[in-house]
Amino acid sequence: MPAIEPEPGAQRRVALFALAIGAFGIGTTEFVIMGLLPEVATDFGVSIPAAGLLISGYALGVVVGAPLLTAIGAKISRKTVLVALMGVFIAGNLLSALAPTYGVLMTGRIVAALAHGAFFGVGSVVAASLVPKAKQASAIALMFTGLTVANVFGVPGGTALGQQFGWRSTFWAVTALGVIGLLGIVFLVPRQDTTEGPGLRGELAVFKNVQVWLALAMTALGFAGVFASFTYIAPMMTEVAGFSAGAVTWLLVLFGGGLVIGNLLGGKAADRSLMPSLYLILALLAAVLIVFVFTAHAKLPSAITIALFGAAGFATVAPLQKRVMDKAAGAPALASAANIAAFNLGNAVGAYLGGLTIEHGLGYTAPNWVGAALAASGLIVALASGLLDRKRTPVLVTA
């Protein structure tokens, strides 16, 4: 009896699910180290700030690896690239789990990070290719759901596992997640043939378009606004709102729930009308951060605002990713990966600028003002990009 082939719609759903599993593992390994810094610092005899550099090292690895590995795989089947990237991710986490010294652990973190940006960049292109154009932003959002769910379940679960059985157990678990993600991509994602694709020269050529750079600037500014505030959420909640240290975990789960909802809603909104959705979402993000300055002084209002902050912050992701892919049409992979690097650049810049306000004695709510200003700056760039769209001709960078 012949095997029953699944319907095309079902094939697309399981392929997107496989991408989401990979995203879940990557999201977990990126953020879980934050909850394990004391254990790592104690084990290797380093300070907490030194252990915190494991976060910075990872971010640097994402920024470097996103365009580099995508460029290397420009003429290779995208499915093959995704499989290779998951292999790099697994190797990095395996090295972290076995690390005999702090230096080796840092190396493992950077190796895993090299795969991060390229996976989400190439994965976004693959996810969009699985569905009709009218649903591409939603497909991208579904893949990124793995990243948002990681913040709700993977990071708290990985932290609890590491605190109970040692931090290495968390990296062993993430390695296993990587293997599951790799198998899912191998067996569930259809082959993405790029033998007639643009190649590296074509991928690089899209950066002559000013609109691609404006899209990257929107991403960097928008997410700088998110991380200017989010980086200091723990002291803000304990020192200003009056929550106990133990309550921060549950507040982060609340934030993560907002991420999941905002991510899916942002994808659907972008499918209906991309640029108006970006205008609205960036304006909402700035507004929520301004409100947060005042609601951070009481428990219930601050908890509600945290959920809204998560929703507004991650509602930007699919529209921003879709925007840069649209403006790099015909050769979107490298630009898509560069946009992931822009997200992480925004994370670093936002955290730095938010920290400056605290260092200068402006208090733990001051980063919210910085975040609002950065999000508003992203909105201004988006409006400028929208005005250029009306001219209907691409603006090229001249030498």
What was the pLDDT predicted at 133? 82
Among 135-139, 148-152, 192-196, 236-240, where is mean pLDDT lowest?
192-196
Alpha helices for the chain (secondary structure H)? 8-31, 37-44, 48-72, 78-98, 102-129, 136-149, 155-165, 167-188, 199-205, 210-230, 233-235, 248-272, 274-295, 299-314, 317-327, 332-359, 366-389
What was the pLDDT predicted at 396? 52
Burial class (CB in 10 A: 0-12, 13-18, 19+), 249: middle
C-alpha distances in angstroms, 166 versus 29, 57, 264, 382?
Answer: 15, 22, 34, 45
- Average the pLDDT over 103-122 and give the result: 91
CB 145 within 8 A of CB 23: yes
- Average the pLDDT over 195-220 and give the result: 80
What was the pLDDT predicted at 393? 53
Measured CA to CA, the distance from residue 73 to residue 57 in angstroms comes to 23
List the structure tokens of 274.
């991309």
Q: What is the mean pLDDT of the chain?
A: 85
Whether the pLDDT of residue 77 is over 90: the answer is: no
Map out the domains of the chain with their CATH numbers: 1-196 (1.20.1250.20), 198-399 (1.20.1250.20)
pLDDT one-digit tens code per residue, 39-55: 888 899 988 667 877 87
Measured CA to CA, the distance from residue 70 to residue 203 in angstroms comes to 10
List the structure tokens of 273.
């009308």
What was the pLDDT predicted at 246? 76
- Average the pLDDT over 125-130 and give the result: 86
What was the pLDDT predicted at 234? 80
Whether the pLDDT of residue 195 is over 60: the answer is: no
Whether the pLDDT of residue 1 is over 50: the answer is: no
Whether the pLDDT of residue 171 is over 90: the answer is: yes
Whether the pLDDT of residue 346 is over 80: the answer is: yes
What was the pLDDT predicted at 193? 57
What was the pLDDT predicted at 2? 40
Q: How confident is the model at residue 4 (pLDDT cuts 50, 70, 90)?
A: very low
Q: Return the SS3 of 133.
A: helix
pLDDT one-digit tens code per residue, 358-399: 888 898 899 999 999 999 999 999 999 999 888 765 555 554
Q: How confident is the model at residue 112 (pLDDT cuts 50, 70, 90)?
A: very high
What was the pLDDT predicted at 56? 76
Distance of alpha carbon 377 from its chain centroid, rounded? 20
